[in-house]
Structure 1
Amino acid sequence: MNRNNFANWEAPASWLKISSLECHTGGEPLRIITSGFPVLKGATILEMRRDCATNYDHLRTALMFEPRGHADMYGCIITPAERADSDFGVLFLHNEGYSTMCGHAIIALTRAAIEAGVVEKCEPVTALRIDVPAGQIQAYAEIEQGEIQRIYFDNVASFVLDADAEIEVPGLGRVRYTLAYGGAFYAYVDAPSIGLSLQAENHSQIIDAGRRIKQAVQASRSITHPFQADLGFLYGTIFSAPTQTPGVHSRNVCIFAEGELDRSPTGSGVAGQAAILHAQGALPLNQKIVIESILGSQFQVSAVSTLSYGAHHAVIPRVEGNAHIVGKSCFYLDPSDPLQHGFIFR
């Protein structure tokens, strides 16, 4: 083993130290904060979200922005459970603020929670209940001979808010979109209809188009969640297109927050896609489809049940994917560092 004296460096005791577990799901990063973050106040996840945004947003930027992160970084804070039957709660972080739901994070958290002993490992299936801003998520891991074989979760009620909308977008012209909710609201756009390639080498153009569409939709309409005002906002734009990959239904590329490009197929995004396809009669209950990301990583999604959700006909989507642990990190905030709270270029 190659070790040198640089490993002997120690931070002054007065510096804030924040530790994390580093993961990815289908290429999309997840930084799980494991220690050092202040305890958030509130009886619900939404109340804790407000407390974090009001009092500790400088720590979000410190952990998501450069030099500790980057413009497409994603993370989460573990909180006490909101509900008596939940295992824990989670607050999601990104370059713009705080997500309401995140499927790729749920998949990574399920693996990490089981492997770290946060919940007891049970064969053949370990079930978790996780409180998120959008509600309670039921997550599952199938286990064989002590090893996780499959991870999937049942999402919150997902529905179509506007099946046929159109907006004038600077630089793109008239753009047709569907507005749907899968734990967050997205504007879904058929990429070929605007001449947009979803190949990885076209990522800059995809980000630009996604930001333009999001800004135009936000400026043109209000978005209301049936029950929680805090959930009523447009989170991003999702582009869909056919793919040549055998056995794959389509490719999804999500541009969310402040121009972040999701490396995964987007868990809450494919949940909204399931709601759209079910409403169109193209996805019967319990029929599984595979959706790929800009990297070719895959999520499997189905609609497992229907329900009324306020005035909306909704489905409960089931999303399956895989996650990997890639490291542990320890970050320090030097009070004399003028860039201690981070910076970002997008």
Structure 2
Amino acid sequence: MAFNDEIAVMNISDLVIKTTEMHTGGEPLRIVESGYPKISGETILEKRKFVKENFDFLRKFLMFEPRGHFDMYGALLIEPDNPEADMAVLFMHNEGYSTMCGHAVIALGRYALDKGLARHKPSPPETEVNIQCPCGLVKAFVECNHLGETGRVRFHSVPSFLFAADVKVSVPGYGELQVDIAYGGAFYAFVTTEALGLNFQTNKTSEIVDAASKVTEAVKSTVKLHHPDSPDLAFLYGTIVTDGKEEFSQEPTANICVFADRQVDRCPTGSGVTARIALQFAKGLISIDQERAFENGCTGSRFTGKAIRSCKAGTHDAVVVEVSGNGYYTGSCTFIAEAKDMLKEGFILN
């Protein structure tokens, strides 16, 4: 499979982009298989920067209407620069490019084995697939049966940590709120429904989006983030609104992630679950190997997650987290643009 086809002519009407469509817990994933122009860069972060600066029109082409929608999500397959990796991926959404995406990793674990992209053939009970993400190497483990059929996927995160606890921020319409900030391949702010005066069952999703977006902006204007590996990782991806049930329990706990430009995750958010477990572990609310169920407050879809070992991320006390879920195929597409189409470059409505 060609990850990047070199195309001499950069007229959008000359492009033919082929994708495989999947979803994990209701969150879509458009996997770009071929048709992208050649991507320059020695490292994955350099390639991410190159795509952002040179081919962002293709992100809009694929994510925006009429081919996508406001909450569309994509994965661009690229050649890895890490020798341990079976594949490498850049993540894209309605605003730009993420550094980690758990739901995509879960789907890509199956995809890599089914398409023969991994160095190992499917073998029961599970097969390892190493996926290089902008945040680092993520190890996925894909359930397989004796027929080679793939199923549930679990992955081990990059070192994840609580960046700041009980940070006070002034949020328009809500006054002073207390939030936690944690990293799980991407940085998130965490706030409870109780603090916002909201409820997953009775409030509209749009109300949760409005509140979470205000929290994100408040944190961005108040807190300067940093990451020990690269400044390219040091940005707030979004806000996760939780039901406040942080202490370990056998009962599921719910959250809704609002990321990028007010984009709503339909699944429990793999990197968000990772960050949430990291903050729970740092606060002594969960122990190694205590597995919890995490539920999306909109769709009810579930992941499970647990801390599996302590580690360091620079000077931060960190933890490696295991998250598991199911990804499913929904189709395949070939995308083109007719020269006379005035909307061929894409548009977005919210």
TM-score (norm 1): 0.93
Partner of 1:141: 142
Query: 2:266 matched to 1:263?
Result: yes
Partner of 2:345: 341
SS at match of 1:42: coil
Percent of residue pairs identical: 43
SS at match of 2:16: strand
Partner of 2:256: 253
2:199 corresponds, among 194, 197, 200, to 197
> How far off is 1:149 after superposition?
4.0
Partner of 1:173: 175
Q: 2: CA distance between counterparts of 1:172 and 1:342?
A: 36
Post-superposition CA distance 1:4-31 (Å, at most 9, x none) = xxxxxxxxx9631111101000000000
> How far off is 1:192 after superposition?
1.4
2:321 corresponds, among 308, 317, 320, to 317
Q: Which amino acid aligns with 1:108?
A: A
Partner of 2:115: 116
Query: 2:341 matched to 1:331?
Result: no
In the TM superposition, 1:290-305 aligns within 5 A as: 290-293=293-296, 294-305=298-309
In the TM superposition, 1:48-127 aligns within 5 A as: 48-119=47-118, 120-127=121-128
Q: Which amino acid aligns with 2:122?
A: K
**Contact kept in structure 2, 1:16 and 1:334, CA below 8 Å:** no
Partner of 2:161: 159
Stretch moving more, 34-43 or 299-308: 34-43
Q: 1: CA distance between counterparts of 2:225 and 2:216?
A: 12
Query: 2:129 matched to 1:128?
Result: yes
SS at match of 1:333: coil
Partner of 1:186: 188
Give structure 1 stretches of 5+ with no counterpart: 1-12
Partner of 2:285: 282
TM-score (norm 2): 0.92
Partner of 1:24: 23
For residues 47 and 154 of structure 1, do their structure 2 counterparts lie closer, same or farther at Cα, with a shift above 3 Å needed? same
Q: 1: CA distance between counterparts of 2:295 and 2:303?
A: 6
> How far off is 1:228 after superposition?
0.3
SS at match of 2:286: coil
**Contact kept in structure 1, 2:196 and 2:211, CA below 8 Å:** no
Stretch moving more, 23-32 or 331-340: 331-340
Post-superposition CA distance 1:167-226 (Å, at most 9, x none) = 111112111100000000000001112211123861110111111111111112221111
> How far off is 1:316 after superposition?
0.2
> How far off is 1:123 after superposition?
2.2
Post-superposition CA distance 1:212-255 (Å, at most 9, x none) = 11111111222111120000000000011068xx9533101000
Q: Which amino acid aligns with 2:225?
A: I
**Contact kept in structure 1, 2:189 and 2:238, CA below 8 Å:** yes
Q: 2: CA distance between counterparts of 1:27 and 1:248?
A: 21
Q: 1: CA distance between counterparts of 2:14 and 2:338?
A: 6
- Quote the RMSD (CA, aligned, Å): 1.6
Give structure 2 stretches of 5+ with no counterpart: 1-11
